[in-house]
Every structure is written in structure tokens, then in C-alpha cells.
Amino acid sequence: MNSIADPEAEKKRAAHQAMALVERRGANVTKADLAADTGMSRAKVDALFPEEDDLFAAVVDEWYAPDIAIMEEVCGSDLPANRKMYEFFARRFVKEKARYDADPALYALYCELGTGQFHIVQGYIELADHYLTEIIAEAQAEGYFPELTINQALSLINQITQCYTSPQVMLMFASKLNTEKLAIIVDTLFAGLAGADRGAAGTVKLRSA
């Protein structure tokens, strides 16, 4: 097996080659496809990506790299919590929308690949939850989201903003999503999200299924 001078840089480069191939073919690519298409030796492909999953994981890392940079930048900023939460969702949404608009079919293909290998995408979702948790804690320190635990607020905010984070929703309703609506949704959260019962469910609760 060849020794590889800078394996991280090589993996990144190979992931981008794999993505170019996905785009050209309109289908997922295997390690064998990557070797055949790039002329890279199979030994080198195996050294970079020991398991078949490792190649797709590297592609997912490249796909989400701009999102992670956005989340780090927003959370590291000195904005107040409401501004942070808006930027946290809006910047990633604008980027995803641009990616969708550039090639809806390719975007749909990546969604399908991600759904099929959800365990690989899961780590990114957990990282997004981690950053959102930070913003929620700051908001609660400012007095927002009273009478909710951080985890309750996290689950509710994820549900309420799901249209702006779900690739599947992007595929179905891209034309109905925009940053003006997202701003109203975040303003609504900061004005109204709280744990207290304010009467919508009535005094006699519906039985849960």
C-alpha cells in the first residue's frame, strides 16, 4: 500500500472527484467507480477509504462543510440570541436553496443518497443540535423560552423550523420558502414560545394515540 503524504487533503480531493462523478452520472458512486474514473489505484482508494461507507461519509463531510462553517461563525459572533437564531437558519437555507436552484435533480439525488445512508448524515444533525442548544441557552439567559427545558425548546424549535432545514421539504415546496417568512417565524418564537399552558389544548386534553 502506498503511504499517503497528506491523507486528509487527499480524502477531500477524492471526495470532490466522487461528487463530480455523481453529478455526471446522476447516480451514487462506489470505490470501484472512483478508481476506474480517476485512474487512482485501488490500493490508494482503499487506503483513503477502508470501507465502502467511508467514501460516502467523505462526500457528506464536503457537502456539509459550508453549513458547519456557517454554524461556527454564527455561534462565535456577538449577536443577540434572536439574531443568532435567524442567521443560524437563514444562512444555511439560502445556501441550500442556491444549491437546489442550481440543479434540482442533483439535489434530489443527494437527498435520496442521504436518506438511504441516514446513519452517516446523523452526525451532522447532532452537530446542528449542539449549536442550536448553545443559542437556546443564550436566549434563555436573556429571558426567552420560559418554563421549557433546553431539550424541550430544542425539539419544538426543530419542529417549527423544519421547513427551512429539511432537504425533503425543499424538494416539495422550494418556491414557498423564503427568508422573509423565516424571519417572522424566528420573531414568533422569541415573542411566543413558552412552556406555560395558554389554553389552545383546552382543559380536557385529547387522548394521545
Where on the chain is the footprint of a copy of itself (CB under 8 A)?
A: 79, 82-83, 85-87, 90-91, 94-95, 97-98, 101, 148, 155-156, 159-160, 162-163, 166, 168-169, 172, 176-181, 183-202, 205-209
Return the number of the residue (1 or 206) whose C-beta is nearest a copy of itself: 206
User: CB 8 → a copy of itself: shortest distance, Å?
Assistant: 30
144 vs 142: CA distance, rounded Å: 6
Residue 200 gets which letter from DSSP? T
User: Which among 83, 71, 111 is positioned nearest to 182, based on CA atoms?
Assistant: 83
- The distance from CA 44 to its chain's CA centroid, rounded to whole angstroms, is 30
CB 59 within 8 A of CB 19: yes
Return the number of the residue (35 or 177) whose C-beta is nearest a copy of itself: 177
Return the number of the residue (55 or 114) whose C-beta is nearest a copy of itself: 114
User: CB 139 → a copy of itself: shortest distance, Å?
Assistant: 11
Return the number of the residue (49 or 93) whose C-beta is nearest a copy of itself: 93
Burial state string for 92-107 with b = 16 or more CB within 10 A and e = fewer than 16: bbeebbebbeeeeeeb
Return the number of the residue (43 or 172) whose C-beta is nearest a copy of itself: 172
User: CB 61 → a copy of itself: shortest distance, Å?
Assistant: 22
User: CB 127 → a copy of itself: shortest distance, Å?
Assistant: 18
Return the number of the residue (126 or 180) whose C-beta is nearest a copy of itself: 180
User: CB 90 → a copy of itself: shortest distance, Å?
Assistant: 5
42 vs 52: CA distance, rounded Å: 12
User: CB 164 → a copy of itself: shortest distance, Å?
Assistant: 8
